[in-house]
Amino acid sequence: MARGITESDVHGAADELVAAGERPTVERIRAHLGTGSPNTVTRWLETWWRGLGRRLQAQHMRLDIPAAPEAVTALAGEWWGRALVAAQDECAQVLAAERDALRQDRQALEDERANFAAEALALRAQLQAARHSEQLAQAQTVELQRLVDQLQLQVQELSQQRDVALARAQELEVAREALQRHLQQAEESARAERDSLTQHLRAVENRAHTEVDRARQETKELSSKLVALDRERTTVERQHRDQLEVARKATAEIQQELAGQRARADGLEAQLEDLRSLPIALEAALRKRSPAKPKASGRKAKGRGTP
């Protein structure tokens, strides 16, 4: 209901419309006033129509001419009555039309209200679904945040493990380099000793060729030297064996990371085996060369020993 609209406002607007030659309707009164709800204007317009007869009769009484003839007065009264009936019929038709329009408007309002209710119900369902989706999204967000935190912890742990592995790899690399240097030194030492033994045996062989007459003595000396060399070889082999044992232990500790060093250690061991067999081969060679004149040497030695 619009504020400020009274019965007198509606009645005055209806009178002004009638004075202007227009039939007063709800829409015309609202347009004339510029405001007002249809229900309020319809209610006050019905009171205007109900009071219209009384106001016309009062107006007729004010316009009655006392000196008029009776026939004229009767005829005027008859015409006035017919005008009132016609006015009442027209008012009834107008009211019926207004009621039909109002009923249609009310039905439209009811339909619109039902549509609004259905839309409100749909919106409530959408709102409930949206709230449910929001709750699910919040739960998923919490779960994702938990997973992110867990992944960050795993990344930190993996970073620490990587740092430890890098430090271990550096330590193993240092140990590998130290072992390689040790093996190189052992290999150089073995090579030097092998060269020394070779030169020594060559010198012995040369002296054996040039001093045939002293073969037996040289043989004894060579035998002594061979014994000494054998002892020296045994000592060297023991030293090499100890070095190889140390090398094997060091190699066993890092053979998972430095498997490639096994080939070089095996090569060094093969060279050491060659060194072990070299004195035996040289001794065999000397024995083959020494018995060139065994009988003469024996008689000479026997003669020298006879008084």
DSSP 2-34: -TT--HHHHHHHHHHHHHTT----HHHHHHHHT
Whether residue 62 is predicted with pLDDT greater than 70 in this model: the reply is: no
pLDDT of residue 277: 75
pLDDT reported for residue 67? 55
pLDDT recorded at residue 240: 75
The predicted structure's pLDDT at residue 296? 46
Q: Is residue 269 part of a domain?
A: yes
Report if residue 80 sits inside a domain. Answer: yes
Residue 65 has pLDDT above 70, yes or no: no
Total Cβ atoms within 10 A of residue 185: 11
Q: Who wins on pLDDT, 1 or 265?
A: 265
- Does the pTM surpass 0.85? The reply is no
pLDDT at 169 over 50: yes
pLDDT at residue number 92: 73
C-alpha count within 13 angstroms, C-beta hemisphere, residue 13: 23
Token digits of residue 290 = 């020494």
The answer to whether residues 284 and 196 belong to one domain is: yes
pLDDT at 71: 62
Q: What is the mean pLDDT of residues 171-192?
A: 84
Domain assignment of residue 156, yes or no: no
- Select from 119, 139, 154 the last residue of a domain: 119
pLDDT at residue 228, rounded to an integer = 78
Give the Cα separation of 299 and 295 in Å (integer). 6
Domain that holds residue 48: 7-119
- Range with top average pLDDT, 70-79, 86-95, 141-150, 203-212: 141-150
Q: What is the mean pLDDT of residues 118-129?
A: 87
In a domain, 124, yes or no: no
Between 109 and 91, name the one with better pLDDT. Answer: 109
What is the average pLDDT score of the chain? 76
206, 109: one domain: no
- Predicted local distance difference test score (pLDDT) of residue 300: 44
> Considering only CA atoms, which of 253, 258, 266 is closest in space to residue 183?
266
**Which of 89, 118, 96, 78 shows the shortest CA–CA distance to 25?**
96
Q: Look at residues 68, 97, 119 and tell me which one is the last residue of a structural domain.
A: 119
Q: What was the pLDDT predicted at 284?
A: 78
Whether the per-residue pLDDT at 298 is higher than 50: the answer is: no
| Domain identity same for 19 and 106 | yes
Among 119, 143, 170, the domain-final residue is 119
- pLDDT at 251 (0 to 100): 65
- 157 found inside a domain: no
For residue 257, pLDDT over 70 is answered with no
Chain segment 133-158, per-residue pLDDT in tens: 889 889 988 998 998 888 888 888 88
Residues 189 and 296 in one domain: yes
Q: How many domains does the chain have?
A: 2
Task: Mark whether 223 and 109 lie in a shared domain.
Answer: no
Q: Which helix (H) or strand (E) holds 35?
A: none
- Say which residue, 242 or 279, is predicted with more confidence: 242
Task: Please check whether residue 149 lies inside any domain of the structure.
Answer: no
For residue 307, the model assigns a pLDDT of 37
Pair 102, 193 in one domain = no
Lowest mean pLDDT among 14-18, 107-111, 264-268: 264-268
Same-domain pairing of 14 and 106: yes
One domain for residues 114 and 183:
no
Residue 66 has pLDDT above 60, yes or no: no
Residue 251 lies in a domain: yes
Question: Residues 106-129: what's their mean pLDDT?
Answer: 85
- Domain annotation covers residue 45: yes
Q: Are residues 187 and 301 in the same domain?
A: yes
> Are 114 and 198 in the same domain?
no
